[in-house]
């Protein structure tokens, strides 16, 4: 609530005249006053944001460093739910702030009217400069926060969280946007009223489209259940590394990153793989947590598209044999082999492994 500058009584900012002393009011938007009057909304944003940021640390203190990537736990799912609905609530509060910024604008002193030919006439009010400064800070903050939190869901390495993120990002959000935009366009084209009975057919059509979209997305996500017999390009599937050299003493990476290249997301869902090497062993490194998991050698019946190869620390300074890394990719449905690429490593010096694309072992294992 603001106060009348003449009598001191509490007034509403939209009042043109003070209801007590009847004198005309010409207040303008002022950032310190706005922040003081609406500090509760900014407090809510800060508290919710801090809660979302602190929950992972609290879980780490109680459950250990790797609780977010634990595949058998449902706790990461609750973290995903909290992130999504927390972001949704923060968006509501931000939008409320934006509405309040423009709430009293028409009651201010007019500074200038700007006419753009054939388009519109814009009125510049006394407090618009202050509004522009505040919006210049709040709008990027709002967009950055939401655009960070929502995609963050897909990086939580847990199967339950992944299903939730898939539902939210690929089905729920697009369906809501599609329904809202489609209904609004239908209203404009058909010039229908707000009574439900007058556009029941349009609503039914939109709902049918949304349901069909959900079935199509689900069929792409669960290709095995829908009999998807996707054809792999076996000749082009290979093992790729993001670097040519690796040494535990020199590299900051935990191991040599190996990725199954030229396999689509749908193909990865209907296939499994085996990794093996004549020397060294494989590990898995979480992209979002400090977790490192030893997979061993060989690694059988895996669904990992990325693994890391390394060798024991006790072998540093010891001559080591050339390394052949084998990958066997096969279909989950019938265990038929899809591809069997290999990657060769030679030694740049005693401890630095080199990815050698032209080398072949004389006695492959």
Q: What does 94-136 look like in DSSP terms, one character per residue?
A: HHHHHHHHTTTGGGSPEEEEEEETTTEEEEEETTHHHHHHHHH
| Cα 52 from Cα 59, distance rounded (Å) | 12
Residues 111 and 214 in one domain: no
Residues 213 and 246 in one domain: no
Residues 58 and 197 in one domain: no
Asked if residue 362 is part of any domain, the answer here is no
Range of the structural domain that residue 321 is part of:
234-355
Residues 247 and 202 in one domain: no
Residues 198 and 313 in one domain: no
Asked if residue 162 is part of any domain, the answer here is no
Residues 238 and 133 in one domain: no
Q: Would you say 351 and 247 are in contact if contact means Cβ atoms under 8 Å apart? A: yes
In this prediction, residue 225 carries a pLDDT of 43
Asked if residue 296 is part of any domain, the answer here is yes
Residues 113 and 208 in one domain: no
pLDDT digits (tens, 9 = 90+) for 287-329: 767 778 889 999 998 888 889 999 998 998 889 999 999 999 9
Q: Which stretches of the chain score pLDDT less than 50?
A: 14, 192-196, 223-229, 364-365
In this prediction, residue 332 carries a pLDDT of 82
| Cα 39 from Cα 31, distance rounded (Å) | 11
How many distinct structural domains can be found in the chain?
3
Residue 22 phi/psi, 5-degree rounding, is 65, 15
The per-residue b/e assignment along 167-177, b for 16 or more CB within 10 angstroms, e otherwise, is: bbebbeeebee
Asked if residue 229 is part of any domain, the answer here is no
Asked if residue 123 is part of any domain, the answer here is yes
Residues 205 and 326 in one domain: no
**What 8-state DSSP symbol labels residue 6?**
T
- Is this prediction's pTM over 0.85? no
Instruction: Specify the 3-state DSSP secondary structure of 11.
Output: strand
Residues 118 and 33 in one domain: yes
pLDDT digits (tens, 9 = 90+) for 193-250: 444 455 566 666 666 666 666 655 555 555 444 444 456 667 788 898 888 899 888 8
Residues 298 and 183 in one domain: no
In this prediction, residue 29 carries a pLDDT of 77
In this prediction, residue 276 carries a pLDDT of 94
CATH number at residue 296: 2.60.40
Q: Would you say 91 and 149 are in contact if contact means Cβ atoms under 8 Å apart? A: no
């Amino acid at each position: 609530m603001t106060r009348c500058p003449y009598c001191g009584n509490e007034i509403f900012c939209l009042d043109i005249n003070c209801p007590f002393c009847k004198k005309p009011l010409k207040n303008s938007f002022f950032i310190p006053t706005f922040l003081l009057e609406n500090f509760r909304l900014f407090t809510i944003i800060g508290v919710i944001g801090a809660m979302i940021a602190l929950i992972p640390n609290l879980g780490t203190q109680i459950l250990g460093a790797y609780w977010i990537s634990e595949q058998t736990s449902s706790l990461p799912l609750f973290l995903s739910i909290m992130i999504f609905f927390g972001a949704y609530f923060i968006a509501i509060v931000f939008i409320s702030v934006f509405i309040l910024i423009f709430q009293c604008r028409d009651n201010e002193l007019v500074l200038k009217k700007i006419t753009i030919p054939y388009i519109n006439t814009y009125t510049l009010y006394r407090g618009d400069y202050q509004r522009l400064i505040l919006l210049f800070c709040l709008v990027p903050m709002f967009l950055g926060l939401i655009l960070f939190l929502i995609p963050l869901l897909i990086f939580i390495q847990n199967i339950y969280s992944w299903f939730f993120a898939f539902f939210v990002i690929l089905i729920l959000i697009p369906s809501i946007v599609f329904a809202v935009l489609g209904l609004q366009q239908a209203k404009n084209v058909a010039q229908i009223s707000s009574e439900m009975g007058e556009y029941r057919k349009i609503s039914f059509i939109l709902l049918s489209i949304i349901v069909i979209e959900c079935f199509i997305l689900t069929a792409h996500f669960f290709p095995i259940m829908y009999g998807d017999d996707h054809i792999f390009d076996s000749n082009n599937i290979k093992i790729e590394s993001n670097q040519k050299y690796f040494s535990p003493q020199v590299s900051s990476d935990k191991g040599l990153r190996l990725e199954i290249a030229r396999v689509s997301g749908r193909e990865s869902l209907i296939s499994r793989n085996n990794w093996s090497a004549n020397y060294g062993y494989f590990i898995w490194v979480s992209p979002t947590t400090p977790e490192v998991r030893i997979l061993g050698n060989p690694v059988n019946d895996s669904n990992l598209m990325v693994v890391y190869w390394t060798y024991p620390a006790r072998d540093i300074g010891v001559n080591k044999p050339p390394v052949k890394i084998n990958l066997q990719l096969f279909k989950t449905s019938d265990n038929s082999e899809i591809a069997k690429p290999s990657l060769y490593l030679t030694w740049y010096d005693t401890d630095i492994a080199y990815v050698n694309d032209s080398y072949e072992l004389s006695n492959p294992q």
